[in-house]
Chains A and B, each alone.
Chain A
Amino acid sequence: MAVVPYDDTAIENDDTVIRRVSQYHIVTDKNGAEPRRRLSSSAFNKSEGPRAGMSIDLENLMFEDQVNPREFVITPVFTGAVSFCAGNARDLDLMIGREPIMDDPNQPDNPYHGEVWRKEEARKFTNSQSKGLQRSAKWYDPLDGVDNC
């Protein structure tokens, strides 16, 4: 059962939050001196459902279990990953909490899974929130030749 959205104060503002990104999130930006490949801000949006959030992985939890975060987040589906601080999300009026995934037929188990939620029910993050997360994000496991924003 999905967790009711909440802000977990045990996740400190400086804690690293990881967001996996896919090759499908890459766009070509022709504004600027040269065309470049970068991530779309649509990579920073929530899942379906008014109370659903944006999936993330919590780095500290992996360290506690002596799991290599870079290896964990790019398996089983190969993706890249970006990271930002929990405080970056809170500065955008978002909440962060743990939501371990266990026995979900649609996803492999992930005890380090968390969510970023809006404080109110909504279909998507606001543009400001998505683009704010995009600007805060840095490559954690980069996709070759792709700028993070």
Chain B
Amino acid sequence: MKPQFQTIAVYQDEVATFDYSEDVTSTVWTPLSSKPYVRGEVPKSRWNRELEEMFNELTSLPRGWDGYGGKPLSFDCAQFAAAVVERLFISSLDAPQLVPVSDGSVRLEWHQNQYDIEIDIEGPYEVQAYRRNLRSGYEEEIEIETDFTALAEWINDLSEVDQVPQAVGN
């Protein structure tokens, strides 16, 4: 079976110019201010394999899909969202839910383990994220351009809650 490969930006100051295609075996990146070079490939995570069909569906939505003038998910937003999904992947967690937004962006959502996490991918390197801890009621919001460390910690917290033994009732 042909492996599913995609390329991922290692340097966050690059602009993606690759095709999001399973037929790609090598990809030439064109960074903003240097010579083109070839990236290596990495396998897609389970999350992105599961979400590929939905990404395709959302980028193919007709104009007005929301009952008004809603735009389909833009390709650059979809590509960046897929890269974020890859960056955040944890094998013990379900893939995020993808929710299109009328302006052509997309949101990644998890609602489980007493957390709500909502990540708005507004465009490449334009991310706003929200988290609420339902046990404590604590809410927080962050804006992210290139450093996804905090988001990775959020997802890690989400996965760790699953491993907390349930208290036995009396």
List residues of chain A with CB under 8 Å of any chain B CB: 20-22, 24-25, 27-31, 40-42, 45-49, 52, 55, 73-74, 77, 79, 81, 104, 106-107, 113, 123-124, 127
| Structural contact, A40 and B107, CB atoms closer than 8 A | yes
| Structural contact, B112 and A47, CB atoms closer than 8 A | no
Give how many A-B residue pairs fall within 8 Å (CB-CB): 92
CB distance from B15 to the nearest CB of A (A): 20
With contact pairs A31-B134, A40-B99 given, residues A73 and B111 touching in the complex (Cβ less than 8 Å): no
Secondary structure of the A contact surface, majority rule = loop
Q: How many residues of B contact A (CB 8 A)?
A: 33
With contact pairs A45-B101, A73-B67 given, residues A31 and B112 touching in the complex (Cβ less than 8 Å): yes
With contact pairs A47-B103, A48-B103, A77-B64 given, residues A106 and B58 touching in the complex (Cβ less than 8 Å): no
CB distance from A116 to the nearest CB of B (A): 12
Q: B107 — nearest CB in chain A belongs to which residue?
A: A42
Interface centre among A47, A49, A107, A124 (most CB of B within 10 A): A47
| Apart from A27-B99, A107-B68, 6 more pairs, CB < 8 Å | A55-B66, A73-B67, A104-B69, A106-B69, A123-B122, A124-B120
B44 interfacial contact with A, CB 8 Å? no
With contact pairs A20-B67, A77-B65 given, residues A47 and B102 touching in the complex (Cβ less than 8 Å): yes
Assembled-state Cα–Cα distance A45/B130 (Å):
15
